[in-house]
Amino acid sequence: MSAEIQIKDTVTNNNVVLFMKGTKSMPQCGFSSRVAGVLNFMSVDFADVNVLADDEIRQGIKDYSDWPTIPQLYVKGEFVGGCDIITEMMLSGELDTLFTENGVAFDKDAADKIREANA
């Protein structure tokens, strides 16, 4: 199976997917750690794909999204963004709205705590 087909299958069959360096329980870069940390703290059920385990997926996800960096977050098959975008969306409340509109369960109180801590 080609990397493109694997990626499409993964983003289509999971509500939330994070392509990252490492795993959600053991991130291997600061940017991946930040995004996985936010999702974990908010109790979002998400699939993690360790791009360090497969060079074809690592390059393939960049081609698939036409986005040069990792991590990359997908919600309901749509590319949302990388670390800076996810951080901004978290702090502005846009990430809450995105999850709510797409029927993705998350801990609203935890999201509010993140914003309070960064105010």
Q: List residues forming the annotated binding site for [2Fe-2S] cluster.
A: 29
Query: Cα–Cα distance between 116 and 65 in angstroms, integer?
Result: 32
Instruction: Count the Cβ atoms, other than its own, within 10 Å of residue 29.
Output: 14
- What's the helix, strand, coil split of the chain in %, to 5? 55, 15, 30
Asked if 29 and 51 count as a contact pair (C-beta separation under 8 A), the reply is no
Query: Cα–Cα distance between 69 and 109 in angstroms, integer?
Result: 30
